[in-house]
């Protein structure tokens, strides 16, 4: 049996797992990223997470074929450099060589959303598709595209940044420098901003009770939980959130017309509460609505494991 380690580097957590040749995770672990820390400390923790995952699978690095990383931003897999990551505030970080020095293993790298999309393509909800798109709703909005069975990165490895397409001209400031990006509205971060805006307008909202009167405790579930309690303001937040997400998803489908579009990330765990109205809006708005065949919108089946599995198997994609 062959084993590979996948690392899903996020703005919040460093998740690492051991994946076997059957594309199954056999052990995994997670460490807080501590975004904003010195790069060397974060890479130290990536190496630690990889080692801890291997130990959890009763393996050593000698038993591991390679390590793959899914990292946010522009990941140049030819040079191993993270050229730009707005969520980590990284510029030209030689991540592959840094982790190879710490682990002694061959390291592959890809954009985190591309890695998650590849994971769903090889082992998840898009397994039987020739072309698929993955949209991840986390700290940011990631995009990953597999076209005709190959990961699409663009000539400069900066392709598929679907979260940085503008859906509101001169809208909210995005961390990428533009205004009105899908990420500014449809990420968990954007949802939190919207939730807080409505809480300030609706002082009697159940959202205040959910966070015990402390607005700093708002998270991506707050509005959904309030809506389920019948709270009007919570419903307004959720409706606005899904409206913006549907706009972005419709744009993506109009551009690529993939067999399958997977929705992943933390917010996707809301299940039908999110997916049913999202599908209804997209079905009304997508350009191909009168076609005999349309893109199937599905929840990513691998959950948070997609990034780990996709990263671990990057050596098979090269």
Q: How far is the CA of 230 from the CAs of 1, 21, 207, 223, 236, in angstroms?
A: 51, 47, 11, 11, 11
Q: Is residue 154 located within the same domain as residue 264?
A: yes
pLDDT at residue number 242: 98
- 230 and 173 within one domain: yes
Instruction: Classify 19 in phi/psi space as left (phi over 0), alpha (psi -120 to 50) or beta.
Output: beta
User: Residue 48's domain is classified under what CATH number?
Assistant: 3.30.420.40
Q: What angle do CA 163, 169, 172 make, to 5 degrees?
A: 65
What is the Cα–Cα distance from 67 to 53, expressed in whole angstroms? Answer: 12
State residue 128's pLDDT score: 80
What pLDDT score does 278 carry? Answer: 98
**Claim to verify: residue 105 and residue 205 sit in the same structural domain:** no
* In a shared domain, residues 255 and 309: no
Give me the tens of pLDDT residue by residue for the chain, a chain 318 residues long: 999 999 999 888 999 999 999 999 999 999 999 988 999 999 999 999 999 999 999 999 999 999 999 998 899 999 999 999 977 889 999 999 999 999 999 999 999 889 999 999 999 999 989 999 999 898 889 889 999 888 999 999 888 989 999 999 999 999 889 999 999 999 999 999 999 999 999 999 999 999 999 999 999 999 999 999 999 999 999 999 999 999 999 999 999 999 999 999 889 999 999 999 999 999 999 999 888 889 999 999 998 899 999 999 999 986
Say how many domains are in the chain: 2
Q: Are residues 162 and 265 in the same domain?
A: yes
Q: What pLDDT shows up at residue 73?
A: 84
The two tokens of residue 138 are: 């986390």
Q: Are strands 25-32 and 13-20 parallel, antiparallel or unpaired?
A: antiparallel
- pLDDT score, position 291: 85
- Residue 140 DSSP one-character state: S
Whole-angstrom CA distances from 210 to 56, 193, 232 are: 37, 16, 14
Question: Which pLDDT score is estimated for 12?
Answer: 86
**Residue 276 shares a structural domain with residue 218:** yes
In the block, residue with structure tokens 């993955």: 134
In this structure, the answer to whether residues 156 and 238 fall within a common structural domain is yes
Residues 138 and 258 in one domain: yes
- What's the confidence (pLDDT) of residue 205? 98
- Alpha helix (H) residue ranges in 104-231: 112-123, 182-186, 188-201, 206-210, 222-228
Query: What's residue 318's pLDDT?
Result: 61
Same domain, 172 and 241: yes
Q: Does one domain contain both 161 and 292?
A: yes
Query: Residue 24 is part of which domain span?
Result: 3-121+305-317
Same domain, 13 and 114: yes
Is there a single domain that holds both residue 108 and residue 40? yes
């Amino acid at each position: 049996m062959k084993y590979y380690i996948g690392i899903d580097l996020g703005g919040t957590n460093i998740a690492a797992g051991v994946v076997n040749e059957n594309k199954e995770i056999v052990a995994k672990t997670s460490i807080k990223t501590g975004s904003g820390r010195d790069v060397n400390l974060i890479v130290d923790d990536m190496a630690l997470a990889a080692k801890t995952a291997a130990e959890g699978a009763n393996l050593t690095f000698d038993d591991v074929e390679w390590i793959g990383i899914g990292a946010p931003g522009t990941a140049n897999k030819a040079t191993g450099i993270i050229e730009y990551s707005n969520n980590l505030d990284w510029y030209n970080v030689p991540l592959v060589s840094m982790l190879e020095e710490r682990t002694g293993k061959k390291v592959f790298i890809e954009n985190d959303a591309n890695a998650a999309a590849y994971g769903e393509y090889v082992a998840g909800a898009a397994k039987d598709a020739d072309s698929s798109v993955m949209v991840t709703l986390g700290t940011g909005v990631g995009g990953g595209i597999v076209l005709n069975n190959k990961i699409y990165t663009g000539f400069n490895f900066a392709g598929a940044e679907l979260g940085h397409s503008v859906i509101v001209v001169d809208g909210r400031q995005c961390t990428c420098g533009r205004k009105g990006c899908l990420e500014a509205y449809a990420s968990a971060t954007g949802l939190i901003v919207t939730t807080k805006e409505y809480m300030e307008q609706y002082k009697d909202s159940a959202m205040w009770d959910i966070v015990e009167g402390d607005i700093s405790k708002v998270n991506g579930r707050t509005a959904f939980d309030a809506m389920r309690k019948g709270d009007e303001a919570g419903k307004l937040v959720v409706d606005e959130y899904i409206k913006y997400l549907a706009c972005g998803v419709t744009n993506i489908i109009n551009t690529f017309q993939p067999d399958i579009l997977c929705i992943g990330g933390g917010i996707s765990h809301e299940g039908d509460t999110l997916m049913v109205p999202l599908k209804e809006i997209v079905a009304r708005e997508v350009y191909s609505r009168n076609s005999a065949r349309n893109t199937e919108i599905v929840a990513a089946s691998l959950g948070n494991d997609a990034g780990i599995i996709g990263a671990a198997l990057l050596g098979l994609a090269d």
